[in-house]
Amino acid sequence: MMRIISYNLNGIRSAISKGWVDWLKSANPDVICLQELKASPEQIDPEPLKKLGYHLYWYPAQKKGYSGVAVFSKIEPDHVEYGCGMKKYDDEGRVLRLDFGELSVMSIYMPSGSSGELRQAFKMQWLEDFYDYIGQLKTKRARLVICGDYNICPQPIDIHNPQSNANTSGFLPAERAWVDRFLKSGFIDTFRYFNKEPHQYTWWSFRANSRTKNLGWRIDYNLVSTNLESSLKRVAILPEARHSDHCPVLLEIDY
């Protein structure tokens, strides 16, 4: 069994100051995929993480204090692939892949379009380029687990107020259509595979007491290629973990 967690930390240094390492010890994933670290490896003390048995793989953004992904794994990978080979995305530290035999686990941090038209256009271009990138990758690495912050709510059930957010970045028709197309290209949204209940969110605005009221969005998920369907065992959103404006999402697979 492999326990995989995806967690957007919104700053690893901030999360560590809120007891994140103790939480990691108790959660005890085999692999944890992190997004939005806002730091490079030398800015934290790695020893507490190494003492827990993790090998640390980082892919920070070029810009200080911005973006960045990492994968911490108790299982040593056969290969680590940093980036996706497209400079404008790799400069922002958005893709990291670890290969374990035939299985590949990716940590991805998709762009947000909420800051304005330029970034929304960047996000839409990313979606097209990422779709093509994964299509090509699947020909070589067929068994994929793609964990991360997708910055898109796939369905009305995944957002607390679909009507008022109909024209909001992260819930635009074109973005949701992309998720649908991506899933139809051969992926499973593992949380929805097991859980069809509403009010299941992974991100809450810091404003208006949103988290206490559970006014959230489900934008963090673990997608797996359809050839892994029989390996799926359990999923969970872990909202009690409060080190970020996001919470972790868990996937257990037979490995």
Angle 117-137/173-184 helices, nearest 10 degrees?
Answer: 0
Residue 119 CA, chain-centre distance (Å), reads 19
Q: Is the dihedral of CA 2, 187, 202, 44 positive or negative?
A: positive
d(CA 212, CA 66): 27
* Contact (Cβ atoms closer than 8 angstroms) between residue 54 and residue 72: yes
d(CA 191, CA 108): 17
- Residue 214, strand partner residues: none
* Contact (Cβ atoms closer than 8 angstroms) between residue 219 and residue 203: yes
User: Rg of the chain over CA atoms, in angstroms?
Assistant: 17
Provide the 8-state DSSP code for 112: P
| Tokens linked to 47 | 């020893």
CB-based contacts of 102: which residues, under 8 Å, 6+ apart? Answer: 142, 143
| Active-site entry in 30, 149, 158, 245 | 149
**How many other CB atoms sit within 10 Å of the CB of residue 216?**
24
- Residue 69, strand partner residues: 35, 59
Q: Is 149 a catalytic residue?
A: yes
d(CA 109, CA 219): 11
**Active site members:** 149
